[in-house]
Structure 1
Amino acid sequence: MRLDHLFDVDWSYDLLHEVEPSPAGDGRFYGQGRATFRGRVSGHAQWSNFPRVRAGFALPHAHGVIHPDEGGVVLFSLTGMSSLTEGHGIHVMTFQTEVEPHSWLNDVIAVGEGTVDVERRMLEMRYYVAVAEVPLPPLGT
């Protein structure tokens, strides 16, 4: 697999509610926010997130809409895992749009990594297009 840079994103929460973890260890957040995208897709976004929280990790379950600078909308879904104690995270994103300049995103799986600032309610992430390189070499070579 090859990773090609897609965009950098600054995420910030405008609204955040928390249900503390139960004795079983699971809690929940609900948040809404905005983001700025810079790269092969540039623009701004609104989103909401309803992650599970356990043992210092958040498992995002976010959905939102990107408003590219060129116009139109791109819907997205985001999952992954973020360490709230270590301040870093990994994301996976998929997209859907009918806007021709960005319709190629419909066939993209993006992976991202970056920092999580719990106190400031912000994330700084870099995303890549995951490109399959096939045929794969035989295992063990």
Structure 2
Amino acid sequence: MRRADHDADHRASRRGRRRHLRRARQYHPELHLNLAEDYVRTARSKGAGERTVLVRHVLRNSLIPIATLLGLSLPAIFSGALITEAVFNFPGMGELFWTAAQTQDYPIMLGITVLVGLATVIGSLLADLAYAALDPRVRFA
């Protein structure tokens, strides 16, 4: 493996780790905030076990922002990452879109744009459904 390829792989892997740590930093405070809520103290005072309190109350309420972020990141999963595809020589939608833009292949560009838009709508719908399942205050009308 050439040195430049190795450096590019290393940079891509570091970006992935940074993104993962950034998301973990978003979720961790949410868990601590929920641990101090009144409903957790009430569940503990009613005699619920620590595992029950953590799973049914704290984890359920802490998953709400995670469900929102995962649902809205669905288009990025479908559209592909151009840099990752270029580094690993993997043919994907990002590379297809880039090639179509360079050759002015408008039907391909339009198709990928519609697909990413559809993935955005579906991701938003899934995030809303997960939000309704996780948050007991949300009811369907």
Same fold (TM over 0.5): no
Q: Per residue, is there more helix in 1 or in 2? A: 2
If each structure's strand is expressed as a fraction of its own residues, which one has the higher value?
Answer: 1
